[in-house]
Amino acid sequence: MSEAIKVFLVEDEYAIREGIKKSVDWEKNGFELVGEAGDGEVAFPKIIKTKPDILITDIRMPFMDGLELSKLVKKELPDIRIVVLSGYDDFNYAKEAISIGVEEYILKPVSGDKLMEELGRIAESVKTKKQEQELRTKYIRDREEIKILEQQKFLHDVIGGKMSMGESLELGKELGIDITAAYYATVLMQVFPKNVQSIDAEEYSSSKEATYVKLKEIYSDKDHVYLYEQVGDVLCFLERADDEEEINKNIRTGIEDIKQMMSEYDDLMFFISVGKVVDRIRDVNSSYADASKKFAERYMYTDSFVFYEESEDDKEGIREDVREDRKSTSSKNLDINSLDVSMLSKKTIYNFLRNGTLSEVDDLVNEYFESMGGEAIESMMLRQYVLMESMLSAVAFLENLGMNKENISEMLGDLSNTMQYAESVDSAKDYIRELLTCLIEYRNQMSDKRYVEIIDKAKEYIQGNYKNDDMSLQTVASYVNVSSNHFSAIFRKETGDTFIDYLTTVRMDKAKDLLTCTSMKTSDVGFEVGYRDPHYFSYIFKKTQGMSPKEYRRMKKES
């Protein structure tokens, strides 16, 4: 049953108002009389509260006449339809009523049949517009994925320094993102499992996704920060504020909120890196570069840590501990050729190979060597240790990817030749850089191959289940065991389409086949391809195909 059309009646003469009310069977004709009043002043607040679809008002009333009331109401409720009743056949009244946007100008006395005839015509127009608005709202909601992707790309480009202030403001306004501020800073965050070699991959993925969903919920209503998820599971926050004290306060509060939230996850550790505060939007990329450089150190820690200027004392303490560990190891009389694997810590390189990016290689290598101390790294023995540690990490990483020993040896070469790069700090650094670059590129190739498999699996699922009207991005992402954000990004990257565009194309192609080859009703065709609402099916079909389903069927018959 369709929703009743709401009507509000304003008439200063009680007898006429009662006569109008009783001359029409409101409910039977699909209307609901939501209120009445004897003049405009009394009527106006009631109209604003009840928000009727149609206002019926007398033109001449004490205190506030019908035309003045109509002006005020139209300003507050632009879509309302107004019917003016008048006992005067005055052209000037009619002319002014039309200029205000009055739907109909009716001379008194008016019969119930005449009034119902006019209201019925207006009601059809109201219903059509309401339906169009509902369909448009559903369409926009269904395409929310596209808006999210566009917002993520926008933030990525702003942080990357790819947009001017003017471009940022203009596009940001279109996407509902206000980046105007006096100060900016970027913050990076990532979650790791505490034990990378024993944790179940699916369990970690599920826990990490849960933390990221909670974070997005926490920050969804904060207008001082925008958050997006980068490829590689790194969360990037763009903080903005009107003074430097405020932005630092917001960052500190955010860090405490994250610490509190992450305390619920015993099997996960997290890292946060805060970039320097800048006072121009064009310099946000330097804040990001600053955060990224410090963030590369996260692979050297075995527990959660925050890289922030207010934590420098704590940071140096931990860094000194790392240096002491390296020094104590280097002071041992190590025989590289008979080195016991259990004596080496492979976590830094291993963690980096699992989660690092090509852009972080230089920062990681530099920080890795600096953590051992300038004097210590001058030791040939320690450089040999570092090279061996890196090589063993690489072997462990490749084994974890499923590569056999023969292929590992083919990729990495003779382990004994590694030691030739220990002649100097620079040669050792260069070797590790090349090693990391080679393995990350290989990892990325494997990921791309896996992405193809994921997308193929998703497409197969869509082809087999497109009839389900409740199919969504989340449904398919869950089926292929990938977070919805990540799935959305890789689906677009691999196919060139967003998920919703691809699903719509599949449905429209099936619908066109049915319209061409069967005599099914349009509503049944819509239902058959996943649209329970026939109006929405027709709306989507016309939006994507440029014509209604009926027009498409007629065109095919004539061709």
377 confidence band (pLDDT: 50, 70, 90)? low
Q: What is the pLDDT of residue 330?
A: 35
Nearest to 156 by CA among 294, 307, 247, 284: 284
Find, among 361, 259, 264, the residue nearest to 311 by Cα: 259
Query: Do 523 and 529 meet the contact criterion of CB atoms below 8 Å apart?
Result: no
Ranges of H-type helices in 220-243: none
What is the rounded distance in angstroms from the CA atom of residue 309 to the CA atom of residue 515?
65
Greatest Cα pair distance in the chain? 112
CA distance 2 to 30: 8
Average pLDDT over residues 306-312: 69
pLDDT of residue 316: 43
Among the listed ranges 148-162, 255-269, 375-389, 500-514, which one has the minimum average pLDDT value? 375-389
Mean pLDDT across the chain: 82
What the block records as the tokens of 435 is: 């090693």
| Radius of gyration for the alpha carbons in the chain, expressed in angstroms and rounded | 34
Instruction: Name the residue with higher pLDDT: 220 or 56.
Output: 56
Is cis: bond before 45, omega within 30 of 0?
no
Above 50 in pLDDT, residue 339?
A: no
Mean pLDDT of the 203-208 span: 67
Alpha carbon distance 539, 519 (integer Å): 20
Lowest mean pLDDT among 102-106, 226-230, 293-297, 533-537: 102-106
Q: Does residue 200 surpass a pLDDT of 60? A: no
* The predicted structure's pLDDT at residue 331: 34
More confident call, 50 vs 391: 50
Classify burial at 509, counting beta carbons within 10 Å of its beta carbon; exposed 0-12, middle 13-18, buried 19 or more.
exposed
Q: Which of 312, 273, 310 is nearest to 293 (CA)?
A: 273
Q: Sorting pLDDT into bands at 50, 70 and 90, what band is 47?
A: very high
**Helix ranges (DSSP H) in 466-530:** 473-479, 484-495, 499-517, 522-528
Please answer whether residues 167 and 178 qualify as being in contact, where contact means their C-beta atoms are separated by less than 8 angstroms.
Answer: no
Whether 336 shows a pLDDT value over 80: the answer reads: no
User: Sign of the CA dihedral 474, 479, 485, 489?
Assistant: negative
Position 31 confidence tier, pLDDT thresholds 50, 70, 90 = very high
* Contact in structure between 506 and 476 (CB atoms under 8 Å): no
Q: Which of 144, 136, 134, 137 is nearest to 472 (CA)?
A: 144
Residue 343 has pLDDT above 60, yes or no: no
Three-state SS for 548?
coil
Q: Mean pLDDT throughout 443-468?
A: 89
- pLDDT for 515 equals 94
Determine the Cα–Cα distance for residues 356 and 190; give it in Å rounded to an integer.
11
- DSSP conformational letter for 278: B
Task: Report pLDDT for 416.
Answer: 61
* The pLDDT of residue 8: 95
**Which residue in the block uniquely carries the two structure tokens 């190979």?**
353
Q: Decide: residue 559, CB within 10 A, 0-12 exposed, 13-18 middle, 19+ buried.
A: exposed
* Residue 314, pLDDT above cutoff 70: no
H/E segment holding residue 429: helix 425-465
pLDDT at position 357 is 84
Q: Given this model, what pLDDT does residue 340 score? A: 40
Residue 338 has pLDDT above 60, yes or no: no
Q: How many residues does the chain have?
A: 559
pLDDT surpasses 60 at 132: yes
pLDDT digits (tens, 9 = 90+) for 211-259: 887 888 888 778 899 988 876 678 899 999 999 999 999 999 999 999 9
Tell which wins on pLDDT, 529 or 97: 529
Pick from 390-404, 446-460, 500-514 the range whose average pLDDT is largest.
Answer: 500-514
Of residues 99 and 213, which shows the higher confidence score? 213
For 102, the token pair is 């009055």
Is 0.85 surpassed by the pTM of this model? no
Three-state SS for 172-198 is: HHHCCCCCCCCEEEEEEEEEEECCCCC
Q: Do the Cβ atoms of 30 and 123 come closer than 8 Å?
A: yes
**Can you tell me which residue has the tokens 């840590």?**
305
Q: Are the C-beta atoms of residues 506 and 462 closer than 8 Å to each other?
A: yes
Torsion from C-alpha of 539, 540, 542, 548, nearest 10 degrees = -70
